[in-house]
C-alpha cells in the first residue's frame, strides 16, 4: 500500500502514514517528544494532563514531564519548565487550559519555537481550540500530521523611565497597554509611530494590539478585528476624552512610542504586557512597542476555520430572543 504524506505544512512534512488505515504503527511521525503544560493547580486540568500523558506513552511517544513527576503549571513552575524543556527539547507542546494558559506558554517558550497545540478548558478558546470531549480524536489526528499551522508574531514593550533608571522589557502575544492607575482620573500622553508624532491623547490609556490581541481587550475598547494573517498593529485609545480619537491600524513592523506627559495619583499610570506583567509609570516615562524577534508557532486540527471561531465565540447571527 503506498505511503501518503500527512501534509506539507510550512515547508516541512508533518508525518507519513499508510493510506486507508488508522493503525498507529503504520506511519512515521516527526513528533518524537511531547511536552505537556497546564493551568495552575486546576484538578480538571491535572486529570486531563495525566490522561494525555498515559495515552501518549502507550503510543510510544517520549513525554515530559516524566510519568512519576508532578504536572507542569505554566504559572507556578516556570524555572522547572525551562529546565526540563531545555533538556527534553519537545517537538510539540500540548497546552491544557484556556487562552490565558496559551499566553503564558507563548511567553515562556518563545525562544524554543516548539509548536503549541491548545486543549480548551477555559471560556473563550480563540487560541486553545480543541474541546475536552474531542481530545483523543483531535490530538490523534494532529499526531498523524493532519493539522494546519500558523505563525503569530509577538511584541516587545520596553518601559523607559524619565530618570534614566532601569528599563523594564517583556514580550506580549495580545497587547501592550498603558493605562491610568488607581486615581480614577484620565491621563495625558503622546503617541509616535516610526518617529512621527501622531496625537496627544487625554484618555484612560491606550492599547497596542497584535492581530491575535484584536479579539481581546482591544475589541472591548472598540477596536477592529484583525485577521491573524495581517501584518498589522492596532492602536486603541481607552475611553478617550475626545470622541474623534479613534483606533488606528498601522504596519506590523512599526515602532510605537507612547510618552506619558500628565496624570494624577501615585503611581500615575502603569504599563502591562498581556495583563500579566506590569510596571508603574510617572510623567516623563515612555513605552516603546515593536515586533519581537521571536514568534509563536500554533497548530490547529484540520478544518480549523477562523471565521467559524468568530461566529461561535462572539455569537454572530444568534437569535437570543427565543
| 84 contacts: CB under 8 Å, gap ≥ 6 | 35, 64, 65, 72
Alpha carbons 99 and 2: distance in angstroms, whole number: 40
Cis peptide before 267 (omega within 30 of 0): yes
Specify the 3-state DSSP secondary structure of 246.
coil
Residue linked to cell 488505515: 21
Per-residue DSSP letters for 34-75? EEEEESTT-HHHHHHHHHHHHHHHHTT-EEES-TTSPPPBTT
What's the residue count for the chain?
322
Alpha carbons 259 and 6: distance in angstroms, whole number: 50
The answer to whether residues 129 and 120 touch, using CB atoms and an 8 Å cutoff, is yes
The answer to whether residues 112 and 85 touch, using CB atoms and an 8 Å cutoff, is yes
Alpha carbons 146 and 110: distance in angstroms, whole number: 24
20 is catalytic: no
Catalytic-labelled residue, pool 42, 77, 99, 274: 99
Q: Give me Rg for the CA atoms of the chain.
A: 22
Active site residues: 99
Amino acid at each position: 500500500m503506498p505511503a501518503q504524506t500527512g501534509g506539507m505544512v510550512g515547508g516541512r512534512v508533518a508525518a507519513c502514514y499508510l493510506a486507508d488505515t488508522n493503525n498507529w504503527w503504520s506511519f512515521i511521525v516527526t513528533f518524537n517528544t511531547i511536552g505537556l503544560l497546564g493551568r495552575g493547580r486546576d484538578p480538571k486540568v491535572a486529570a486531563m494532563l495525566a490522561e494525555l500523558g498515559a495515552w501518549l506513552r502507550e503510543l510510544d511517544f517520549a513525554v515530559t514531564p516524566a510519568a512519576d513527576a508532578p504536572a507542569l503549571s505554566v504559572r507556578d513552575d516556570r524555572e522547572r519548565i525551562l529546565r526540563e524543556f531545555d533538556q527534553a527539547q519537545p517537538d510539540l507542546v500540548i497546552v491544557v487550559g484556556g487562552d490565558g494558559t496559551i499566553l503564558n506558554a507563548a511567553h515562556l517558550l518563545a525562544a524554543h519555537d516548539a509548536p503549541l497545540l491548545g486543549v480548551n478548558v477555559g471560556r473563550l478558546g480563540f487560541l486553545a481550540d480543541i474541546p475536552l470531549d474531542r481530545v483523543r480524536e483531535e490530538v490523534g489526528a494532529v499526531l498523524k500530521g493532519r493539522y494546519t499551522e500558523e505563525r503569530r508574531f509577538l511584541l516587545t514593550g520596553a518601559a523607559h523611565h524619565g530618570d534614566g533608571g532601569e528599563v523594564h522589557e517583556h514580550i506580549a502575544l495580545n497587547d501592550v497597554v498603558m493605562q491610568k492607575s488607581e486615581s480614577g482620573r484620565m491621563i495625558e500622553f503622546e503617541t509616535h509611530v516610526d518617529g512621527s508624532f501622531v496625537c496627544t491623547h487625554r484618555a484612560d490609556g491606550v492599547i497596542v494590539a497584535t492581530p491575535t490581541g484584536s479579539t481581546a481587550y482591544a475589541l472591548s475598547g472598540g477596536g477592529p478585528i484583525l485577521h491573524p494573517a495581517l501584518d498589522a498593529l492596532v492602536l486603541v485609545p481607552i475611553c478617550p476624552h475626545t470622541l474623534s480619537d479613534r483606533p488606528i491600524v498601522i504596519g506590523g513592523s512599526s515602532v510605537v512610542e507612547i510618552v506619558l506627559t500628565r496624570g494624577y495619583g501615585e503611581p500615575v499610570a502603569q504599563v502591562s504586557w498581556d495583563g500579566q506583567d506590569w510596571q508603574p509609570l510617572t510623567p516623563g516615562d515612555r513605552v516603546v512597542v515593536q515586533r519581537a524577534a521571536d514568534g509563536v508557532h500554533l497548530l490547529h486540527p484540520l478544518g480549523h476555520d477562523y471565521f467559524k471561531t468568530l461566529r461561535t465565540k462572539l455569537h454572530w447571527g444568534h437569535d437570543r430572543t427565543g
